[in-house]
């Protein structure tokens, strides 16, 4: 694969591929027909997972320990030729074994109307893309026409299924559509999908059917109707897995007017401003991180009756607000009419929806209803819709197509880049509920699949870090600005030809050739008039200057004998203008500089233990770790070093485990057989043991297990290092024997895990991690979580985020609106805690921890639950002054329910605090006992910690009524 699968994708691929192999074996042995569904939310990368599964079927997969089915053939079915083309292109982009490139799709074939002319059977290791419309009753493929050399596609399919050298798998894309009842003797009563699955007119039924859908219910119900087909349990990906992976944008902002006022013009302006901001921030981020440009897209969902003049008017408004748009190149449409549009001076050509993502010249896209099924456009950032309230389905579908993140990962440094903004002037808060329910995963009956639970924000507002700016800071900036203005005026006056300004504009008045004074209209010329203040970047008062050459004044020509060489222009240095500073906002005055520094220091002091995960393959993880270290320059010798170490370790472990190894080697090298001789004349039977030695090809095949488990990188390094001494067959024999010797495998896995841990410990101790770009940090963090031992990190500082302005407002949060307040959605207990803590003189600031989030901005503590290791997220971090004025972090964590995992969380707290006893000033676990009564466990007290660790009852509510608890003050 050209792309690295996310954890949930790799898990789904491995499960699906293994089940398909099991289903194939059962079909070969018993003729059992079966079906299975890959159920995965929109935006989860279903196409990538299918490509990886098919590639593993055809060629095996070392990473996932999958063996190939060399007879596998895949028929990919959809109801749209354009969707098939998009899928084929996506396969070629991500699966290097299926296609060299988009232009050379070796194993990808699109079935056309004349397919039968060159095919009488489907070939192994090929994916055939079929659109259902080609199998219509009067279609050329089904009539055995001359164009197909008389061949009928149904017969081609039947021959493929019945051929023992071919294993056919049917993948149905968007499998929730188009399924009918079983085929019957009357062709007209069967749907095309049912005919393919069940066999048409007595032809062979499809052995294995794979449905691909975000909503599996309809597909599974259709399979359950078939008495002769076994439905396997679905391979399911949860919305949470997808959200946590960073593939989907975290936030969907919906802007709707509170009243039914005509706000369409204003909303389009707001959408354009947000789009321009997204363009600027994506440009800066990609340049800073060395990423390819994202090229954000603005999507305009037009009314059905939108005229060309109305489109031209919108284009005028858009181009007036968004810089850099081209009248002929920047606009496009995906209207159902499939026509180019001339809208005044704007050209709005039609483009196939599946090509929009890669057409970077398109920056504004006009649509009407929902675009085609299967389409998504990760670079789409902002939607403006003219659709009315009755069209909630179209809006929900369109938003659902735009939630993919452009870089397939979360941008930790800027929440705006993790969001999609929707401007709906024809809606209101009440009529938006259907859209919200759909996007939150509470309903999936709007014609498309639910995208899973999102963070929906109505009336969004951006809040930013409350970086302090005092009145003294403002006065200093104002003084610098005034000095800059004076310096500019002084420089102007020093220019030759300067004279007093008219209406505030300095002028120069060169004489004409005859020495006459020119007219006022021709003489007045502005000299270096500064741009409007809003367009000027702040500059220091000194050190930033531009050179301006004053034009040479002309005088009456002198006689030739008196002429002299013209003098050079005089260079005048003019300071760069500064923007006029603004007085400090309430946000900037929330904290003093000293408090802010103390808050940052306390925030950064909090250690975070990320939940480790089990490496799927220790050797593969080590190879990936070494590769990352080389690519990032952290250790350019890592890849070579680990390969050399593997060879040395393997040699040593073979010697150390000689007896077990020798037995495994014999099993590989010699095949035990029994020779049975029947003497018919004498009516006797004789048996004797024989040994057959494995030839070189047999050893090569036996060594495939080592290639898969140890990885090809390590196995091939062993072959290279020993080839001259041992030869290829002996190398394969030793590798095959080693991978079958469990003590050697265990020892090598232990070495690989320890080696990886040492690399990460080295990097963590050097501080080099901080200099990686975001993409490398994400890869590093994912691999680091697979190492043994605790992986420590810290919470990433929140510079900005988005929330709803409808929420209650609180002061002293570390990110705020300009008015110094932060809108937060808190329940009554949380609200009580925050107001109570803020009323205390010692409290300087607080932070609402993103609950249940995998974001780097979230503080988490690991704990052991009944289903394995999980993470708890304290609700609030408060920053309080110690006795000596030092600011320290404090946890106050309210809980309204005492669930089965509450005790496990308390024990997780205690284990964490015992390891880091000096970080927090206070840690309070607050229980809402009901009726306005709050009890608290002070988890920094040793006796409370002992009580928690010694408590064993499932219901831990009694702890809050014991002597270890106090009333929350």
HEC profile of 555-568: CCCCCHHHCCCCCC
pLDDT at 739: 92
pLDDT at 145: 73
401 against 903, higher pLDDT: 903
**Which among 239, 270, 294 is the end of a domain?**
239
In angstroms, rounded to a whole number, what is the distance separating the alpha carbons of residues 418 and 409? 9
Beta strands 364-367 and 297-301 are parallel
185 against 662, higher pLDDT: 662
The token pair that represents 636 in the structure block: 């350019």
- Domain membership of residue 655 (yes or no) is yes
Cα angle for residues 210, 211, 214 (degrees, 5° grid): 145
pTM recorded for the entire structure: 0.66
Cβ contacts of residue 377 below 8 Å, gap of 6+?
297, 299, 356, 357, 365, 401, 402, 404
Confidence band (pLDDT; 50, 70, 90) for 675?
A: low
Mean of pLDDT values over 88-113: 84
Is residue 636 pLDDT above 60, yes or no?
A: yes
Q: How far is CA 720 from CA 640, 717, 727, in A?
A: 13, 5, 10
Mean of pLDDT values over 214-228: 87
The token pair that represents 784 in the structure block: 């680091």
| Chain centre to alpha carbon of residue 204 | 42
Is residue 553 pLDDT above 60, yes or no?
A: no
One domain, residues 250 and 197: no
One domain, residues 639 and 775: yes
Confidence band (pLDDT; 50, 70, 90) for 935?
A: very high
Report percent pLDDT > 90 for the chain: 45
In angstroms, rounded to a whole number, what is the distance separating the alpha carbons of residues 744 and 249? 45
Total number of domains constituting the chain: 5
- Domain membership of residue 511 (yes or no) is no
The position carrying tokens 């929420």 is 807
One domain, residues 296 and 436: yes
pLDDT at 500: 59
Residue 228 has phi, psi (to 5 degrees) of -95, 15
447 against 335, higher pLDDT: 335
Contact between 740 and 748 (Cβ < 8 Å): no
- Domain membership of residue 589 (yes or no) is no
pLDDT in tens, 311-338: 999 999 999 999 999 999 999 999 988 8
pLDDT in tens, 57-67: 999 887 777 88
- Domain membership of residue 771 (yes or no) is yes
One domain, residues 658 and 765: yes
Confidence band (pLDDT; 50, 70, 90) for 684?
A: low
pLDDT at 896: 73
pLDDT at 846: 97
Is residue 656 pLDDT above 80, yes or no?
A: yes
Q: Of 542-556, 748-762, 930-944, where does mean pLDDT reach its minimum?
A: 542-556
Contact between 383 and 399 (Cβ < 8 Å): yes
Mean of pLDDT values over 25-33: 93
Buried b (16+ CB within 10 A) or exposed e, 78-116: bbbbbbbbbbbbbbbbbbebbbeeeeebebbbbbbeebb
Q: Of 355-359, 360-364, 427-431, 676-680, where does mean pLDDT reach its minimum?
A: 676-680
Q: Which of 74, 91, 96, 90 is nearest to 17 (CA)?
A: 74
One domain, residues 224 and 268: no
The token pair that represents 491 in the structure block: 């420089």
pLDDT at 847: 96
| Chain centre to alpha carbon of residue 380 | 14
| Chain centre to alpha carbon of residue 558 | 75
Mean of pLDDT values over 457-472: 85
pLDDT in tens, 844-880: 999 999 875 557 788 989 888 766 678 889 999 999 9
- Domain membership of residue 518 (yes or no) is no
pLDDT in tens, 799-856: 888 888 889 999 999 999 999 999 999 999 999 999 999 999 999 999 999 875 557 7
pLDDT at 294: 93
**Which among 414, 436, 458 is the end of a domain?**
458
Is residue 907 pLDDT above 60, yes or no?
A: yes
One domain, residues 277 and 208: no
- Domain membership of residue 78 (yes or no) is yes
- Domain membership of residue 402 (yes or no) is yes
pLDDT at 348: 96
One domain, residues 319 and 423: yes
One domain, residues 351 and 254: yes
Domain around 923: 798-967
Is residue 639 pLDDT above 80, yes or no?
A: yes
Is residue 508 pLDDT above 50, yes or no?
A: no
CATH number of the domain encompassing residue 196: 3.40.50.300
Cβ contacts of residue 380 below 8 Å, gap of 6+?
296, 297, 298, 299, 365, 401, 402, 420
DSSP string for residues in 632-688? TTS-TTHHHHHHHHHHHHHHHHHHHTHHHHHHHHHHHHEEEEEEEEEETTTTEEEEE
One domain, residues 768 and 812: no
Residue 398 has phi, psi (to 5 degrees) of -65, -45
pLDDT in tens, 108-159: 999 988 888 888 899 999 999 999 888 887 778 887 777 777 788 999 999 9
Is residue 559 pLDDT above 60, yes or no?
A: no
In angstroms, rounded to a whole number, what is the distance separating the alpha carbons of residues 876 and 154? 64
One domain, residues 822 and 944: yes
Q: Of 537-546, 570-579, 711-720, 918-927, where does mean pLDDT reach its minimum?
A: 537-546
Contact between 713 and 623 (Cβ < 8 Å): yes
- Domain membership of residue 422 (yes or no) is yes
Q: Of 25-39, 301-315, 441-455, 671-685, where does mean pLDDT reach its minimum?
A: 441-455
One domain, residues 389 and 478: no
**Which among 730, 754, 784 is the end of a domain?**
784
Report percent pLDDT > 70 for the chain: 83
pLDDT at 384: 93
One domain, residues 52 and 118: yes
Q: Of 371-380, 419-428, 857-866, where does mean pLDDT reach its minimum?
A: 371-380
DSSP type of residue 390:
G
Contact between 516 and 536 (Cβ < 8 Å): no
* DSSP H or E segment with residue 628: helix 618-631
Rounded mean pLDDT of the chain? 83
């Amino acid at each position: 694969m050209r792309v690295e699968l996310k954890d949930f994708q790799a898990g789904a691929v491995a499960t699906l591929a293994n089940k398909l192999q099991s289903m194939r074996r059962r079909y070969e042995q018993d003729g059992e027909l079966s079906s299975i569904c890959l159920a995965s939310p929109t935006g989860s990368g279903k196409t990538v997972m299918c490509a990886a599964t098919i590639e593993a079927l055809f060629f095996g997969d070392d990473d996932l320990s999958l063996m190939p089915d060399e007879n596998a053939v895949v028929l990919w079915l959809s109801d749209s030729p354009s969707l098939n083309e998009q899928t084929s292109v996506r396969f070629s982009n991500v699966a290097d074994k299926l296609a060299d490139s988009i232009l050379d799709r070796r194993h990808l074939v699109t079935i056309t109307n004349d397919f039968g002319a060159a095919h009488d059977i489907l070939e192994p290791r090929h994916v055939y893309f079929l659109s259902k419309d080609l199998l219509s009753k009067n279609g050329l493929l089904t009539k055995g026409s001359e164009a197909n050399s008389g061949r009928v596609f149904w017969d081609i399919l039947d021959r493929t299924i019945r051929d023992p050298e071919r294993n056919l798998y049917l993948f149905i894309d968007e499998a929730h559509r188009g399924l009918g009842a079983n085929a019957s003797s009357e062709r007209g009563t069967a749907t095309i999908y049912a005919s393919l699955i069940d066999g048409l007119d007595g032809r062979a039924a499809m052995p294995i059917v794979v449905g691909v859908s975000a909503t599996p219910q309809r597909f599974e119900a259709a399979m359950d109707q078939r008495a002769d087909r076994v439905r396997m349990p679905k391979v399911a990906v949860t919305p949470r897995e997808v959200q946590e992976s960073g593939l989907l944008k975290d936030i969907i902002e919906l802007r709707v007017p509170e009243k039914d006022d005509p706000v369409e013009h204003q909303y389009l302006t707001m959408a354009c401003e947000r789009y321009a901001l997204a363009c600027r921030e994506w440009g800066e981020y990609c340049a800073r991180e060395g990423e390819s440009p994202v090229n954000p897209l603005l999507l305009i969902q037009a009314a059905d009756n939108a005229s060309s003049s109305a489109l031209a008017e919108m284009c005028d408004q858009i181009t007036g607000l968004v810089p850099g748009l081209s009248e002929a190149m920047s606009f496009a449409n995906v209207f159902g009419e499939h026509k180019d549009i001339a809208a005044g001076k704007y050209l709005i050509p039609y483009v196939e929806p599946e090509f929009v993502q890669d057409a970077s010249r398109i920056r504004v896209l006009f649509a009407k209803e929902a675009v085609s099924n299967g389409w998504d456009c990760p670079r789409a950032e902002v939607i403006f819709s003219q659709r009315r309230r009755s069209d909630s389905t179209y809006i929900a579908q369109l938003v659902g197509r735009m939630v993919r993140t452009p870089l397939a990962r979360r941008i930790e440094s800027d929440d705006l880049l993790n969001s999609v903004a929707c401007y709906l002037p024809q809606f209101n808060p009440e009529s938006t509920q259907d859209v919200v329910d759909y996007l939150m995963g509470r309903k999936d009956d709007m014609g498309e699949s639910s995208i899973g639970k999102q963070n929906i924000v109505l009336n969004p507002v951006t809040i930013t870090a409350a970086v302090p700016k005092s009145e003294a800071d403002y006065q200093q900036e104002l003084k610098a600005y005034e000095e800059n203005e004076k310096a500019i005026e002084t420089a102007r006056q020093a220019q030759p030809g300067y004279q007093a300004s008219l209406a505030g504009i300095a002028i120069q008045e060169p004489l004409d050739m005859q020495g006459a004074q020119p007219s006022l209209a021709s003489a007045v010329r502005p000299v270096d008039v500064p741009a409007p203040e809003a367009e000027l970047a702040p500059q220091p008062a000194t050190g930033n200057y531009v050179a301006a050459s004053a034009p040479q004044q002309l005088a009456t020509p002198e006689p030739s004998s008196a002429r002299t060489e013209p003098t050079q222009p005089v260079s005048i240095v003019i300071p760069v203008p500064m923007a006029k500073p603004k007085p400090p906002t309430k946000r900037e005055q929330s904290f003093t500089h000293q408090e802010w520094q103390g808050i940052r220091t306390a925030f950064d002091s909090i250690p975070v233990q990320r939940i480790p995960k089990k490496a799927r393959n220790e050797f593969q993880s080590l190879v990936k770790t070494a590769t990352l270290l080389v690519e990032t320059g952290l250790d350019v010798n890592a890849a070579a070093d680990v390969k050399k170490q593997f060879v040395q370790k393997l040699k040593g472990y073979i010697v150390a485990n000689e007896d077990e190894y020798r037995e495994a080697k014999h099993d590989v090298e010699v095949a035990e057989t029994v020779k049975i001789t029947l003497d018919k004349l004498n009516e006797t039977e004789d048996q004797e043991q024989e040994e057959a030695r494995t030839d070189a090809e047999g050893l090569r095949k036996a060594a495939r297990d080592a290639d898969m488990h140890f990885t090809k990188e390590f196995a091939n390094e062993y072959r290279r290092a020993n080839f001259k001494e041992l030869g290829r067959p002996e190398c394969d024999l030793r590798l095959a024997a080693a991978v079958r010797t469990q003590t050697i495998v265990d020892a090598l896995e232990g070495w690989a895990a320890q080696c990886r841990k040492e690399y990460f410990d080295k990097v963590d101790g050097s501080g080099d991690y901080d200099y990686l770009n975001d993409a490398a940090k994400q890869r590093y963090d994912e691999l680091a979580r697979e190492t043994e031992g605790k992986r420590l990190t810290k919470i990433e500082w929140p510079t900005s985020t988005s929330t709803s302005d409808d929420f209650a407002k609180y002061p002293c949060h570390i990110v705020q609106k300009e008015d110094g307040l932060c809108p937060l959605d808190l329940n009554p207990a949380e609200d009580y805690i925050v107001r109570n803590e803020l009323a205390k003189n010692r409290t300087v600031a607080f932070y609402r921890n993103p609950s249940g989030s995998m974001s780097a901005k979230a503080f988490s503590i690991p704990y052991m639950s009944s289903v394995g290791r999980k993470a708890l997220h304290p609700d609030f971090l408060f920053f309080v002054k110690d006795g000596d004025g030092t600011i320290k972090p404090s946890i106050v964590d309210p809980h309204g329910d005492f669930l089965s995992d509450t005790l496990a969380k308390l024990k997780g707290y205690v284990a964490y605090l015992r390891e880091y006893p000096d970080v927090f000033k206070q840690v309070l676990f607050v229980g809402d006992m009901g009726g306005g009564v709050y009890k608290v466990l002070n988890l920094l007290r040793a006796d409370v910690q002992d009580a928690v660790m010694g408590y064993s009852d499932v219901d831990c509510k009694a702890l809050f009524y014991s002597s270890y608890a106090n009333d929350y003050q």
